[in-house]
Structures are given as structure tokens and as C-alpha cells.
Chain A
Amino acid sequence: MGTNDQTRSLPRGLRLVAAAGAAALTLTAGLTTPLDPAPRQARAADDGRKVLTVAVAQSVDSLSPFLAVRLLSTSIHRLMYEYLTNYDPKDNHAIAGLATKWEPSPDKLTWTYTIRSNSKWSDGEQATAEDAAWTFNKMMTDSGAATANGSYVGNFRKVTAPSPTKLVIELKKPQATMTALDVPIVPKHVWEKVSDFSEFNNDKSFPVVGNGPFTLTGYKADSYVRLKANKSFWRGTPKFDELVFRYYKDQDAAVSALRKGEVSFVAGSPSLTPAQAASLEGADNIQVNDAPGRRFYALATNPGAQAKNGEKFGDGHPSLLDQRVRNALFLAVDREAVIDKVFQGHAVEGEGYIPPRFQNYFWKPSANQKLAYDPAEAARLLDQAGYKKNGDGKRVGKDGKPITYRVLCHATDPNDKAVGKYLQEWWGELGIGVQLNCLDNVTDPWLAGKYDLAFDGWSVNPDPDFVLSIHTCGALPATPEETGATDNFICDKKYDELYAQQLAEYDPAKRADIVKRMESRLYDLGYMNVMAYPNAVEAFRTDQIRSITTMPAKAGNIYGQDGYWSWWSAVPADSSGSSDNASSTGVVVGIVAGVVVLGGLGAFAAMRRRATAGDRE
């Protein structure tokens, strides 16, 4: 084998590549290291605009306010369009939005809103009551336009605009939520040209005409959503010139991006993990905001799915219809361990249905009502209910078979899986099997009632009507084929009576009282067992954002607020001369990377050419 000849040419080729690579690496390291620790100021674009970048993961379902239901899309609509009313960032009470004043008639059936005259659409037209009336009417008459927010207008009889500053809504029945109509008001002169509301996604021509604090100027699916400040916003111009939602499908990627200053803010979905929060807490120029959340995290049991017409469906375990069994199961859930181990302190132990953040409506069980962790008591209750252990230590159902509950869990939520593992062991001790059924999309078995227990959670609005309504008999589907608003098919007469009372009660204190009685009822029933109120764990760069409004102002969250307070109020950190470090480093590294590739290819080509030349001789 004539390999001698080869040994000469191969290393030369390799040497070239290696040299190029080594040079590039040194260069890169040399260029990045000194720049990297330098303090980074608010990200300024080339012309000195202040840009606030927010890392997000959720895809936009639609940019049409008539279709969008996801949190990100609806948050963006908050920024693009004014709603009739807004929520005060301090204590959530209703304050002026597009409407400056509102008043119910004595018979509680007619609401009159005064529309402000200083709100202009971004194309220069005046925003009027006519726009609002048109928006509501469209939703009442066109089923395509009712897709997302149709439930708000279900009780409306008639909506009119007698003058540009006066909007009148007539109701079929009294409704206490008339200052919590979370419906974006769109400009009539733009939207009346839309022919098919079920297909129009509002994402083709930019900028999109709006009257909120920001104007949508660009969107690329799963890459970015870009908004610019509305200079003529009536409440005042936002401090940042531009707001960009940038996609990081992977939460770790988003956290690293924050650490490196690629983004100013990261919220996580639904929040940062304990490990991420812990690692960010020690980092320079990063502030972790660990705020009491607006969500509850619960274990729902299947009460036997049924429709309004009385038809039963689904296949929930019959033993769960016994309240003692439901209470026993919850008694065997060590909520302190859930807070300590799963949430690692980033949550508050669950009590009533509504999180403590909404003080007016927060309720907790009295000492003797409370189902505190007590496995012995749980075992006693199960024995009493007739579910005794067999020879293998397994509790048997009335059908003589060992009980195994199917627990529906969200495959995308690590907390579900973690708590599921604990349940398996806690209930295993009781003699009850757990089969964790984790799905990407739980909608189907959920709506069909094909589960025994399920991890459940809702974000609670300042007005609790919605989260209360989903447990009424009225929310059940009309027939098993349809979908109702119900959460998990709870239907309780006593609860329903209270619900009707609070809806017609226009006095806040009295209404809150009734709401608390409803929570107490819900707690005793044991169909909805709140384990925890997870905190909103989010983080932002203090060298990019000097200050930002949380909601509630004291110990509140930033992402997913009711209102546009956070992004509207954010103040950029002072910028110094070297404000563009991050991107210039990026450019340099990019160029270096390009050089490596080109160098490698060049070396390869050069070797070939040399060899060919050699052949020609």
C-alpha cells in the first residue's frame, strides 16, 4: 500500500482546517469574553429606539379579536384595542377604559355607557359609541364573530349608540358583570369590510388599526409579534418605543436568553420552574418576581357526567359519587408536601376556590370544616363507606374489583406529572390504585366524562362570575353531543341558588358574602379540591427595565394581567454609550462562524485544486 504518499497530503489539509477552526475559536473567545460581562442597557435598536422584548412560547391562534382565545393573543388584543372598562392595577376595581362612566337603570336591565371623546384610531378616525355598538351587534348576529367572546353577549337584548358618546345595552336578565366585559372594541370602518369573520385572521396588512397603547406592526408565526407605541394614546404614551414578543418554544432557551440579555422579560408557561428561578436569583441584573398567582390548582373528581336533558354519559368510577370517598381522597393528599416538594415554595397551600390574591372573594374553611392531611382519617372514612381492603391490601369497589382511579393529566405540565407520582404513592398506601393518564390534549376524555379524577386549574378574573358559573347546572351541555360551559359536570341545587343570587346582587359587599358561601359549599362537596395557588414566577432584566407595574401593585404579577399595565408602564433603564453590546457581539460571532465554515470549505477546495494541478504535470 503506497500510503507514504498519503501521509503527506492529509495532515496538510487537516492542518488548514484545524488552523482556521482554532483561529476562529480564539477570535470568538477573545471578542465575546470582554464584552460579555459588560453591563447591558436597555436594548436599543440602531436608531436609538427603546425595545422591550418578551419571551413567549404559546403560538398565536388568531389575531382577530373575534377568534382569539389563547392568553397571548388576548393579551395582545388588550394592547391593540381599548375595552369599555379596565381594572385598577392596585385593587382590580373597574375603572375607565373606552367608557368614562356607566350606569344601570333602576330595573337593572339597561346599562348606559359614556364613551370618551379623546380616543382616536391609529388611522386618525375618532373612536365612538358607534364602533362599540357595531362590535357587540356583530357578535350577536354573526356566529363567526361570536367564536371567542360570544358568551359575553348571550344575555344582551339590544345594543344601540344614540350618540357618538353614548352606548346603551339592554339585557334580558340582570347581570352583575357589566363592568367586566372583556371584549375588544374594533373600528367599524375597518372591520365592516370583512366578509367572513370565521376565516379572517387580521394578520395580513400592517399596521393594524387600533386605539390601545400599542399598535401591531408585524407578525411572523412562531417567530415574533411586533408592536409600536401609540403616541396619541389617551392615557399617555408608553415609555418603550417598541414591544416585541419573541418565540422560545423551549422554556430553558427563554431563560438562557434572559440571562444573556437577548430578551428583557420571561414569564414561562405557566411559570418558571423552581430550578430556573433558583438559578436566576443569583444572576446579576436579573430580578425574579415571585408573586401570588391568580390561578388555583385543583384535583377535580368526576361527579357522573350528565347533560341538561338528564342524560348520563361518561364512565366515572361509581365510588366517587360518595362524598366520604371524595373527602377521604383529599384527606390523603399532603398539600404541604405539594407546596414544599413540587412547587418548592413557589405556591400557597390551597383553601377555598378563589385565590387569596382576590381578597374580597377569598374564603378559607373553618378549623372543623377543613380537610387537613390525615391518612388515618381517610382510611377510616373509606372503611365506613364500605370500601374495605381485600387480602392483597387493595380496596375493592362495590363490583368486587380492586379500585384503580384514572387520573387525567396534562402531558405538557410537569406539575401534573409530579403530583401524579405522589398521588400514586399516597393513595397506594390507602389501598387505591392510580393510573396516570397524561395527554397533550385532555379535552376529549374530559368533555366525554371518561375519567375519574383530573388535574384542573383556572386563572381567576377580578370578577369571579366566570369561574363560579362553570359549576352551575346551567353550564351543563344541553345534550351529551354538545359542549357546555361546565368545568367538570358539577350540578348542585344549593350552589345554583346562591349563584343566581350573587349575579343579581349589585352591592359588592353583599355579593362577596354570597360568593364565599358558594365556595364553602363547593369545598364540602369535594368535587373540586384546591391543592395549591401557584405563584406567578417570572423574571426580568433590571438593566433593561428600570420599573414595571405589577398587578396588584403590591406583590403582583407582570405577564397576563387584566389590563395593559405592565407593558404600558414599563420604564426603560438608562442607556449609556455602549447600548448595543449584545447585538454587536452577535454580529461579530456570526461573522466568525461564517468565516469558520468558509475557511473550512476554502481549505478543502484549495487542497483539491493543488492536487489537480499536481495531476496535470
Chain B
Amino acid sequence: MTTTDPALSPRALARQRRRASVARFWRQYRAERAGLYGLTVLALCALLALFAPLFVGSDVSSVTGAPGRPMTSPSAEFPLGTDQFGRDLLGLVVWGSRVSLLVGLLAAVLSVAIGTLIGVTAGHFKGWYATVMMRITDWFLVMPTLVLAIALATVMSRSLTTTVVAIGVTTWPTTARLVRAQTLAVETRPYIERAKALGGGHWHIMSRHVLPNVMPLVLAQTTLIISTAILAEATLAFLGLGDPTIVSWGGLLQDAREAGAVSAGDWWYLVPPGVAIAVVALAFTLCGRAVESVLNPRLGVSR
């Protein structure tokens, strides 16, 4: 309060401080080797998904224009073989990354958004509102996630939106609890008192003071939940609850199983989509852990 440079406006000051903390964060993150590996893999996957139309083109999923015979094993023409329509599996795996990553991302964003909203408000407004919200959160927490997601996916029609909603709606409670705890901690700090005394409303306090302080936590949560969401998408697709006309990794596994690839011993049909799921989920988990350990070194994640 007393030592700020009078030449700088408060806003510019805040921006400067934020930039500094981001730089600090990045410095510490770079020290986490596993986190860096994860980040590299993710960057590669993201590039691949973004530029997939350049390599494979959307006609890779066309059944009438399928170039090969059904279910042929890997060859020079089809490095990963073909699926039961005679489509190129390598192209499909690359193309499927778009849906899998998109669903993972959207579902995680939805989940964390719900969690943050409920967490921040429940931490800020105390009293009956907080009690009710936390009861609901606890209730969701004891629901078996997969059972609930399956139920939701059954109740709604089969589409990408359904998958995103089913995952988002069932995974938010952890975030809500973490964010609420953090909010409670932040609100005990003196400058919140001061802001209140200066006439800052609820909205002002939540958006200007609480939210920036819970953001790092939210970031870590998002990264970890994406990994869960990608697995959940694959699970729902595998159980036949996804949109069958869309190519995703889980959907490819479901196709493989339905076509009888397991008993025919066609491992080349099953292995690539599963490896893709595992690699991306692992990469997100590694990043999430790295972010967590930077934010909260006491956790000893990678000491």
C-alpha cells in the first residue's frame, strides 16, 4: 500500500505483477521434467489434430469411398491396416484425435466451469446457500460417476453434446470442493476486508479478487480432468453410448470389438486407438501433476 511506484496506474501494476508470476510459474514448471514431456506430447497431438485436414482430409471417414478391402492387416499402403469398411486406420486414428481431444477439452471446461462457479459462490456467500450447494456437491460426489454418466447418456439422445454434458455434469464436484476451500482461504486475507470496506460488491470481490487467486488451482484441475474426460469419452463410446457416425478413438475400439477383431486376433485394429487414448491421458495427467507441484510444493509430488 505504501511502496508502490506512483508513476504506474493500479491496473498496469496488476498486469505487471501477473506477468511476473506467469514467468515465475513457467520457470518452475520447466524444472518438472515429466511435466515438460507431457507438454511436448500434448503440443504434438494438438498440432496433429489441428492440421489433420491437411494430412488425411475429411473423406478418410467416408465408407463409400473406402480405398481398401475390409480388415486387412498392416501393409505398405495402409501402415495400420484397414477397418471393417476398408478405410485407412492410420487416417482414422489421426482424424479421431480431433473428436477425442475436443470432447475431452469441452467436457473438462464444462466440468471445471460448473465446479468453479459453485465453489466460488459457496465460499463467498455463506449461510444456507453454501449449505445447500455443498450438500448437492457431496451428493454428486457419492454418485458412482460412470453409472450416472451412463444413465445420463441413455436419457438423452446420442450425440457429441450428450457425451460432453454427461461427462461435465458428473465430474465437477471435486473442483467445487477444492475451489470453495481456496475461496474461504482467500476471503480471510486482509485486502478482501479492505475491498469490502471500500464498498466493493459481491460481484467485484468474486471476480476481481477471488477468481484470480483460484485460477491456478482451476488450471491444474482442468488439466487433470481433461485426462479423465478423454477416458470417459472412450468408455461411453465403447459402451455404445456415443454417436456411431462420428469417428473417435473410443468409437474405433467399439467398432473393432463389434467387428470381431478380438477373437480374430486382429491386434492391429485394437492397439493404435488404445495407445492414443493412453498417451494423451497420460500426457494431461503429467502436466496436471507438474502444475500442482509448482503451485503447492508441499505435496511432494515429484520431490
- In the complex, is A directly touching B at CB under 8 Å? yes
Asked whether any CB of chain A lies closer than 8 Å to the CB of B207, the reply is no
A398 to chain B, nearest CB (A): 26
- In the complex, are the beta carbons of B260 and A417 less than 8 A apart? no
Asked whether any CB of chain B lies closer than 8 Å to the CB of A341, the reply is yes
Contact of B70 among A274, A411, A414, A437 (CB under 8 A): A274
A273-B259 contact given A425-B64, A438-B158, CB 8 Å threshold: yes
Report the stretch among A167-175, A226-234, A251-259 that lies at the interface.
Answer: A251-259
- In the complex, are the beta carbons of A276 and B263 less than 8 A apart? yes
B92-107 interface code vs A (CB 8 A; 1 in, 0 out): 0000000000000000
B249 to chain A, nearest CB (A): 17
- Bound form: Cα–Cα A530–B158 in Å: 27
Asked whether any CB of chain B lies closer than 8 Å to the CB of A275, the reply is yes
- In the complex, are the beta carbons of A273 and B258 less than 8 A apart? yes
- Bound form: Cα–Cα A533–B66 in Å: 24
Asked whether any CB of chain A lies closer than 8 Å to the CB of B157, the reply is yes
- In the complex, are the beta carbons of A275 and B261 less than 8 A apart? yes
B154's nearest neighbour on chain A, judged by CB, is A440
B99 to chain A, nearest CB (A): 15
- In the complex, are the beta carbons of A417 and B264 less than 8 A apart? no
A336-380 interface code vs B (CB 8 A; 1 in, 0 out): 010001001000000000000000000000000000000000000
- Bound form: Cα–Cα A337–B65 in Å: 12
A254's nearest neighbour on chain B, judged by CB, is B263
B257's nearest neighbour on chain A, judged by CB, is A252
A418 cross-chain contacts in B, Cβ below 8 A: 63, 84-85
Asked whether any CB of chain A lies closer than 8 Å to the CB of B265, the reply is yes
Asked whether any CB of chain B lies closer than 8 Å to the CB of A421, the reply is yes
Q: Could you tell me which residues of chain A, from 105 to 162, have a CB within 8 Å of some CB in chain B?
A: none
Asked whether any CB of chain B lies closer than 8 Å to the CB of A102, the reply is no
B115 cross-chain contacts in A, Cβ below 8 A: none
- In the complex, are the beta carbons of A273 and B157 less than 8 A apart? no
B265 cross-chain contacts in A, Cβ below 8 A: 279
By secondary structure, the A interface counts as helix
- In the complex, are the beta carbons of A420 and B260 less than 8 A apart? no
Asked whether any CB of chain A lies closer than 8 Å to the CB of B119, the reply is no
- Number of contacting residues on A, CB 8 A? 35
Asked whether any CB of chain B lies closer than 8 Å to the CB of A100, the reply is no
Q: Could you tell me which residues of chain A, from 420 to 434, have a CB within 8 Å of some CB in chain B?
A: 420-422, 424-426
- Bound form: Cα–Cα A255–B261 in Å: 11
A275-B84 contact given A252-B262, A256-B263, A438-B158, CB 8 Å threshold: yes
- In the complex, are the beta carbons of A279 and B158 less than 8 A apart? no
- In the complex, are the beta carbons of A414 and B264 less than 8 A apart? no
- In the complex, are the beta carbons of B264 and A276 less than 8 A apart? yes
- In the complex, are the beta carbons of B245 and A251 less than 8 A apart? no
- Bound form: Cα–Cα A168–B77 in Å: 71
- In the complex, are the beta carbons of B264 and A412 less than 8 A apart? no
A439 cross-chain contacts in B, Cβ below 8 A: 158
B residues neighboring A (CB under 8 Å): 62-66, 70-71, 84-86, 154, 157-158, 240, 243-245, 255, 257-266
Q: Enumerate 29 A-B pairs (CB-CB under 8 Å) in ascending A order.
A: A250-B257, A250-B262, A251-B263, A252-B260, A252-B263, A255-B260, A255-B263, A256-B262, A259-B263, A275-B84, A275-B261, A275-B264, A275-B266, A276-B260, A276-B264, A278-B264, A279-B265, A337-B64, A341-B66, A344-B70, A411-B158, A411-B240, A417-B244, A417-B258, A418-B84, A422-B64, A425-B62, A436-B243, A438-B244
A residues neighboring B (CB under 8 Å): 250-256, 259, 272-276, 278-279, 337, 341, 344, 409, 411-412, 414, 417-418, 420-422, 424-426, 436-440
10 closest Cβ pairs, A-B complex:
A255-B263, A276-B260, A279-B264, A273-B260, A252-B262, A252-B263, A414-B258, A275-B260, A417-B244, A425-B64
